[in-house]
Amino acid sequence: MFASEPGRRARSRLSTKSQVPTKVLDAPKSPDIAKPAAAPRRKTKLALVARQAEMPDERGGLPPKIERYLATAEVPSPCLVVDVDIVAHNFLELARSLPDARIFYAVKANPADKIVSRLARLGSAFDTASMGEIDLCLRHRVTPDRISFGNTIKKERDIAAAYAKGVRMFAFDSEAELEKIARVAPGSKVYCRVLMECEGAEWPLSRKFGCEPEMAADLLVRARDLGLDAYGVSFHVGSQQTDLTQFDKALTRTVALFREVASRGIELRMVNMGGGFPSRYRTDVPSIPAYGQAIREALARHFGDRQPEVIVEPGRGIVGDAGVIQAEVVLVSEKGGADGRRWVYLDVGKFHGLAETMDEAIKYRLMTSRDGGETSPVVLAGPTCDSADILYEKADYRLPSDLKAGDKVWILATGAYTTTYSAVAFNGFPPLASVCI
Ligand SMILES: Cc1ncc(COP(=O)(O)O)c(C=O)c1O
C-alpha cells in the first residue's frame, strides 16, 4: 500500500535538498498529514487550489512536472511517479462538473499518503474497502462522516471496528451482510448495491458485486426492520466506462427500485453512482464535463424535481492520468518461426503493477527513450518466470526497431490500480516503488 523500500529510498532522496533541483523540490513540500478539515463546502474547496496543474499536451507525452522530475531524480526502476497537482485538478474538474454530488475518492485506486492528504484538504470524502483504508483516512484526519465502508464483503469484526471509530455508512448486497451490519453497527446508514452488466467498460465489475433489484427492494425493507437507516442504492457501471448512456440505464433501474421501496413505506434518499470515470489510455475518452452533463441530465430525467443526494466514487478518473511508470527494457529477443515479432521484456509486468493488462483489458500508452525513428511490432512481457506475465500479445503494439536492453520505457496513465496490485516479492522482485511529487 505504501511506497516499497526502494520507493522510500527515493522519497528520502527527495528530502535531501542538495541532491535535487529546487524547482522539483518546491512541489512536494505540502505536508503528508492534513489539518483537521472543516465540513466540506464547495466554495472552500475551490479556494484551496494553490497551484495550477501542468497538464500534458492533448494526447501528448509525459506530464511536464513528471518529465522534469525524471530528468534529474534518481529513482529505482520500475517506479511510479504521480503528480499530485494533476490529482487535485481532476478532483476539482469533477466537482465542478457534478456540483451537487459528494465525491468519495475510491482509495483502492491509489492510497499514497500525499494523494489522500491532498484530497482530504480539498474536501473529498472517501470510499474504503478495508480497515487498512479506513485507518489510513483517519490518520489523515478525515472525519468518519466522510468515510463510507463501500465493500459489500466485510468481516463482522471489521464492521464493528469501523463503527467503533465512528463510521456510519456501509454498503451491502446480501441478507447475511445486512445482518452483520445490524448486529455490530446499529442504526447505521446502509445502501444496497445492485447488479450491473457493465457493458462497454474496459474493466467491468459485473457479477461479483450487487444483487438483482427485486432482492435489493426486499433487503432495504429488511434493513429498516433490523433498525438500520435504509439510506439508498449504489451501482457501478464498470471501470473505464466510456459509454455515457450506461449511467442513464443504471438510473432507470434505480428509480424503479426507489418507487418499489417507497410503495413499501421507505423513502430512500441517496444514489451512489460509483466510479467509471476514465483515464486516457490508447483510445480517446469523453471529457469529465461530458460525464457530468450525461449524469446530470439522466438524474433530471429520472428524478425530476425530487433529486436524491448523489454520491460518486471515482478512482481511476482522479489518479490514473496523474501517474507515469518509468521502467527499463531488460531484454529484446526473437524466437524464430513465422511470427517474426520481437519480444520486449520490461522490468515491470503483470505481477508488479500492470495487473490490468489481464486479457489485455487496459491498453496503456507507451513512450521510449528512442522514440522518433522506425518502429516494428512487438510482444510485450514482464520479467518474471511466469508465462502469464505477458502484457500485450494480441493488441497491436509497435516500438522503436533499435530498442535495446537498458533503454527507458514510460508507461503513461498508470496512477490508478498499479502500486496496489503489485506483489510483495514474486520471483524476488520488490514491489512497485512510487513517489508523489
Ligand atoms: C465500490 C467501488 N467504488 C468505486 C470504485 C472506483 O471505480 P473507478 O476506478 O472506475 O472510478 C470501485 C472500483 O473497483 C469500486 O469497487
Distance between Cα 274 and ligand 1 center (Å): 6
Average pLDDT (42-68) is: 73
The more confident residue out of 259 and 51 is 259
Regarding the beta carbon of 320 and ligand 1, being less than 6 Å apart is answered no
* Sequence ranges of the domains in the chain: 1-83+318-437, 143-314
Distance between Cα 276 and ligand 1 center (Å): 7
Distance (Å, whole) CA 49 – CA 114: 15
Regarding the beta carbon of 411 and ligand 1, being less than 6 Å apart is answered no
Atom of ligand 1 nearest to the CA of 234: 1
Distance between Cα 23 and ligand 1 center (Å): 35
What fold is seen in the domain 1-83+318-437? Lyase, Ornithine Decarboxylase; Chain A, domain 1 (2.40.37)
Q: How confident is the model at residue 57, as a pLDDT?
A: 77
Q: How confident is the model at residue 383, as a pLDDT?
A: 97
Atom of ligand 1 nearest to the CA of 275: 11
* Percent share of the chain, pLDDT over 70: 88
Peptide bond into 78 cis (omega under 30): yes
Q: How confident is the model at residue 51, as a pLDDT?
A: 67
Please identify which of the residues 79, 198, 211, 385 carries the catalytic annotation: 385
* Percent share of the chain, pLDDT over 90: 82
Ligand 1 pocket: which of 108, 149, 288 to mutate (most atoms <8 Å of CB)?
A: 108
Regarding the beta carbon of 109 and ligand 1, being less than 6 Å apart is answered yes
Distance between Cα 36 and ligand 1 center (Å): 26
| Weakest-pLDDT range from 27-41, 126-140, 257-271 | 27-41
Q: How confident is the model at residue 248, as a pLDDT?
A: 96
Regarding the beta carbon of 239 and ligand 1, being less than 6 Å apart is answered yes
Let me know: does 122 contact 88? Beta carbons within 8 Å: yes
Contacts of 258 (CB under 8 A, 6+ apart): 233, 268, 308
Average pLDDT (348-362) is: 97
122-181 confidence digits (pLDDT tens)? 999 999 999 999 999 999 999 999 999 999 999 999 999 999 999 999 999 999 999 999
Q: What is the mean pLDDT of the chain?
A: 89
Q: Which is it for strands 169-172 and 189-193: parallel, antiparallel or unpaired? A: parallel
Regarding the beta carbon of 150 and ligand 1, being less than 6 Å apart is answered yes
Question: Does 8 have pLDDT greater than 80?
Answer: no
Q: How confident is the model at residue 143, as a pLDDT?
A: 98
Regarding the beta carbon of 274 and ligand 1, being less than 6 Å apart is answered yes
Ligand 1 pocket: which of 126, 313, 418 to mutate (most atoms <8 Å of CB)?
A: 313
Residue nearest to atom 2 of ligand 1 (CA): 274
Distance (Å, whole) CA 194 – CA 200: 18
Ligand 1 pocket: which of 239, 247, 291, 420 to mutate (most atoms <8 Å of CB)?
A: 239
CATH class of 143-314: alpha beta
Regarding the beta carbon of 127 and ligand 1, being less than 6 Å apart is answered yes
Q: How confident is the model at residue 59, as a pLDDT?
A: 62
Residue nearest to atom 7 of ligand 1 (CA): 275
Question: Does 49 have pLDDT greater than 60?
Answer: no
Let me know: does 319 contact 88? Beta carbons within 8 Å: no
Atom of ligand 1 nearest to the CA of 320: 9
Distance between Cα 185 and ligand 1 center (Å): 24
The three cell numbers locating residue 196 = 450491473
Max Cα-Cα span within the chain: 70
390-422 confidence digits (pLDDT tens)? 999 999 999 999 999 999 999 999 999 999 999
Average pLDDT (273-297) is: 96
Distance (Å, whole) CA 209 – CA 64: 38
Please say if 385 is a catalytic residue.
yes
Identify each DSSP E strand in 204-273 by its residue range: 229-234, 239-241, 270-272
Average pLDDT (302-327) is: 98
Contacts of 286 (CB under 8 A, 6+ apart): 242, 244, 278, 294
Distance between Cα 119 and ligand 1 center (Å): 16
Peptide bond into 286 cis (omega under 30): no
Distance (Å, whole) CA 280 – CA 361: 14
Q: How confident is the model at residue 14, as a pLDDT?
A: 31
Distance between Cα 238 and ligand 1 center (Å): 8
Ligand 1 pocket: which of 127, 195, 240, 272 to mutate (most atoms <8 Å of CB)?
A: 127
